[in-house]
Copies of this chain bind each other. A is one copy, B any other.
Amino acid sequence: MGRGKVELKRIEDKSSRQVSFSKRRNGLMKKSYELSVLCEVDVALFIFSGKGRLYEFSTDESMTRILSSYQSYKQTEELTRVNIHEKLASEYTDLSTADELTEMIQRHLDEISLKKLEISGLNQLERELHNLLRVVRVRKTQLMMGVVKNLQKQEMELKKEKKMMMNEIMAAKLKEMDHDGDAGAHDAMTDVEIT
């Protein structure tokens, strides 16, 4: 599909691998989009580059959110369920600031980096990184849940305010009715709709 034919195996040259990645990634996104429009289907595409960066296309935002947040959800669930990790959980759940988290991580890492990295050391390092990863994911979930909670709270308050305003309006209308007599009272009432 170009001047030369390419074998189906890892492109060894780093530079042209990167170029190909960029081109083909865009091509894939475009085709995903076309498929979704032409055939009216939902498509979700996730591409994780070697560096762990995520490129994604999705016709359904909620699906994306569900799929990409599944991992952190699962980690959280696991964390609260398994006893072995209880201590870890309690140690981290009351971290309130990002700085505390950063410090904690650095502390762990300092410890780790002092050790000799033979196989047994690497095993430990692997475990530690795994735990850190879990902590980060839990923290992320917590933050996101916090955001959601705040939004919900705000919504509640707005609704409350709206209700109060409605009440005032109703009171005003009722006062008008006192002046105007009973005629038209019914219409005034049905205009008010509280949700």
Contact = CB atoms under 8 A, between A and B. Distances in A.
B63 A37 contact: no
Interface stretch (A135-143, A156-164, A185-193): A135-143
A177 interface: no
A113 B106 contact: yes
The range of chain A's interface size is: 35 or more
A127 B53 contact: yes
A39 interface: yes
B105 A122 contact: no
A8 B24 contact: no
A89 B49 CA distance: 11
A120 B57 CA distance: 19
A111 interface: no
Interface string A86-98: 0101010000001
A135 B133 CA distance: 14
A81 interface: no
B40 A17 contact: yes
A35 B6 contact: no
A78 interface: no
Contacts of A140: 119, 122-123, 126
Nearest to A119: B143
A127 B20 contact: no
Interface of A: 6, 8-11, 17-18, 20-21, 24-25, 27-28, 31-32, 34-35, 37-54, 60, 62-63, 66-67, 69-71, 87, 89, 91, 98-99, 101-102, 105-106, 109, 112-113, 116-119, 121-123, 125-133, 136-137, 139-140, 143-144, 147
